[in-house]
């Protein structure tokens, strides 16, 4: 049984197409993330599931019931906004209780359920506070409790941690994922933060310009992107365009000779090859010769210190410019690399990924 299913959903605002035919499903208990750059239609999609936007065409079902034209208050969805959207004139307890009142849950039953929801987000002590008296993280937890207490068919979150600082965001991420797994609640999560998507999701739906670019597990999305867009958008990547050489054994990617791993037919052109920067090894020329498949030489043209990693730009001799990242382990080798240094560049065959199509 799927909790949410979208079939050929389209949303147009006059000439503007916000969502161009989306198929999407959230299975029972699954955590699905909509990931994509700003303006790709994530919020629009989520709001169609919540019922605030009526799709131009297509069908939407929640819990295997057609909900396409059903108004929001007749759907049982839990919605969490980026700006929390708590009721400012009600205490935390009243906020959480609101949905139960609307569902006409008996007064005697409401108390324990509110308490339970508050315990779930570790706010049982703050029930009598007003929202304005809470920190951002606490407010977002109240919003979560308020959405969960009605036992929704699906939990919808639109960049819920966008307004929090990085540390709290990382913390809330873990907390939400644990909660979701504990309650086995179907969740549709919207974000443009790939770390968030990769770390929390069962499945990621990468969107671009109102369309689904790729659907897959986080590992599939990261390691086997199906389109150039996904490869570019997720993580840092070097994407080289090459052509299979006459014998069919190798690919000439902008001057870099790589093994033809995908067994693309000889003579094929415009092949996109992806090499993740963290898979590339660079060492000072002449230090120790590591021998891997593609042994090439280059020159460091830029270096950016990012704390845990250092990102280099390496101009390959008679070849492309590669982005290379190295873990900052504090090794002497790393510290000595500066702009202008000649380096040996190497990467294992497994680092080479040929994009389909």
Partner 1 sequence: MSRNSDENYGALWLLTPTVLLYVATFFVPIIMLGVLSFARFEMSVTTIGFYFDNYIKIFSDGITLKIFFQTVRLSLVITFWCLILGYPVALMMRSCSPKMKMVLLFCVVSPLLTSIIVRNVAWLLILGRSGIINDTLIQWGLTSKPLPLMYNEFGVILAVVHVYLSFMVLPLFGALNSINSSIEEAASSLGAPSWRVFLSITLPLSLPGIMAGCTLVFILSMGVYLTPVIMGGNFVLTLPMLITESVREQYDWPFASAMALMLLLAIGFMVILSSGVQKLVGRR
User: What residue ranges bind partner 1 (CB under 8 A)?
Assistant: 50-52, 71-79, 81, 83, 85-89, 98-99, 102-103, 143, 146-147, 150
Residue 150 touches which member of partner 1, ligand ATP, Mg ion, none, C-beta under 5-8 Å by kind: partner 1
Residue 99 makes CB contacts below 8 A (sequence gap 6+) with: 146, 147, 149, 150
Count other C-beta atoms under 10 Å from residue 306's C-beta.
9
The tokens describing 206, both together, are: 């990468």
Closest distance of CB 42 from Mg ion, Å = 5
251: enclosing H helix or E strand: strand 250-253
CA-to-CA separations, 301 to 283, 288, 322, 338, in angstroms, rounded: 14, 21, 10, 8
9 is an interface residue for ligand ATP by CB under 6 A? no
41 is an interface residue for ligand ATP by CB under 6 A? yes
Residue 103 touches which member of ligand ATP, Mg ion, partner 1, none, C-beta under 5-8 Å by kind: partner 1
Report d(CA 251, CA 333) in Å as an integer: 31
315: enclosing H helix or E strand: strand 309-316
Point out the residue whose Cβ comes nearest to Mg ion: 43
Residue 41 touches which member of ligand ATP, Mg ion, partner 1, none, C-beta under 5-8 Å by kind: ligand ATP
Count other C-beta atoms under 10 Å from residue 333's C-beta.
13
Query: Please, which residue, 55 or 78, has the CB nearer to partner 1?
Result: 78
Residues 147-186, one symbol each (x = binds ligand ATP by CB under 6 A, - = not), give ----------------------------------------
Closest distance of CB 177 from Mg ion, Å = 21
Query: Footprint of Mg ion on this chain (CB under 5 A)?
Result: 43
Of 63, 60, 67, the residue nearest 7 (C-alpha): 60
Residue of 3, 43, 201, 213 interacting with ligand ATP (CB under 6 A)? 43
16 is an interface residue for ligand ATP by CB under 6 A? yes
38 is an interface residue for ligand ATP by CB under 6 A? yes
329 is an interface residue for ligand ATP by CB under 6 A? no
Conformation bin of residue 329: beta by default, left when phi > 0, alpha when psi is -120 to 50: alpha
The tokens describing 166, both together, are: 């990085």
Query: Please, which residue, 99 or 218, has the CB nearer to partner 1?
Result: 99
Near ligand ATP by CB under 6 A, which window of 35-43, 55-63, 277-285, 341-349? 35-43
Report d(CA 280, CA 326) in Å as an integer: 8
Query: Please, which residue, 136 or 248, has the CB nearer to partner 1?
Result: 136
Closest distance of CB 82 from partner 1, Å = 9
Strand partners, 185: none
52 is an interface residue for ligand ATP by CB under 6 A? no
Query: What DSSP line would sit under 3-71, residue for residue?
Result: EEEEEEEEEEETTEEEEEEEEEEEETT-EEEEE-STTSSHHHHHHHHHTSS--SEEEEEETTEE-TT--
Instruction: Name the DSSP letter for residue 227.
Output: S
Near ligand ATP by CB under 6 A, which window of 36-44, 59-67, 244-252, 321-329? 36-44
33 is an interface residue for ligand ATP by CB under 6 A? no
Residue 38 touches which member of Mg ion, partner 1, ligand ATP, none, C-beta under 5-8 Å by kind: ligand ATP
Of 224, 226, 222, the residue nearest 236 (C-alpha): 222
Query: What DSSP line would sit under 93-127, residue for residue?
Result: HHHHHHHHHHTT--HHHHHHHHHHHHHHTT-GGGT
Closest distance of CB 99 from partner 1, Å = 4
Residues that bind ligand ATP (CB under 6 A): 13, 16, 18, 36, 38-44, 192
């Amino acid at each position: 049984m799927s909790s949410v299913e979208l079939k050929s959903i389209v949303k147009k605002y006059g000439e503007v197409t916000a969502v161009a035919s989306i198929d999407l499903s959230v299975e029972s208990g699954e955590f699905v993330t909509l990931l994509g750059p700003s303006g790709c239609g994530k919020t629009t999609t989520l709001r169609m599931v919540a019922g605030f936007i009526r799709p131009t065409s297509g069908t939407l079902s929640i819990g295997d019931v057609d909900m396409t034209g059903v108004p929001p208050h007749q759907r049982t969805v839990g919605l969490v906004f980026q700006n929390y959207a708590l009721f400012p004139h009600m205490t935390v307890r009243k906020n959480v209780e609101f949905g139960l009142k609307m569902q006409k849950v008996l007064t005697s039953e409401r108390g324990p359920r509110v308490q339970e929801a508050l315990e779930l987000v570790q706010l049982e002590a703050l029930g009598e506070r007003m929202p304005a008296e809470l920190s951002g993280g606490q407010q977002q937890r109240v919003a979560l409790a308020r959405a969960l207490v009605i036992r929704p068919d699906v939990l919808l979150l639109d960049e819920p941690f966008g307004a929090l600082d990085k540390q709290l965001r990382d913390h809330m991420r873990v907390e939400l994922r644990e909660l979701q797994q504990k309650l086995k609640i179907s969740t549709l999560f919207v974000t443009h933060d790939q770390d968030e998507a990769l770390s929390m999701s069962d499945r990621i739906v990468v969107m671009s310009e109102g369309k689904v670019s790729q659907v897959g597990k986080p590992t599939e999305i990261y390691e086997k992107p199906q389109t150039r867009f996904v490869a570019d958008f997720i993580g840092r990547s070097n994407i080289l365009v090459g052509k299979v050489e006459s014998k069919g054994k190798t690919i000439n990617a902008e001057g870099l000779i790589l093994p033809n791993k995908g067994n693309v037919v000889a003579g094929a052109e415009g092949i996109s090859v992806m090499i993740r920067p963290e898979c590339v090894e660079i060492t000072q020329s002449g230090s120790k010769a590591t021998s891997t498949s593609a042994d090439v030489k280059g020159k460091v043209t830029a270096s950016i210190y990012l704390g845990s990693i250092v990102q280099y730009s390496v101009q390959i001799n008679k070849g492309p410019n590669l982005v290379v990242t190295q873990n900052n382990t504090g090794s002497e080798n790393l510290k000595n690399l500066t702009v202008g240094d000649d380096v040996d560049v190497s990467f294992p065959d497994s680092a080479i990924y040929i994009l389909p199509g």
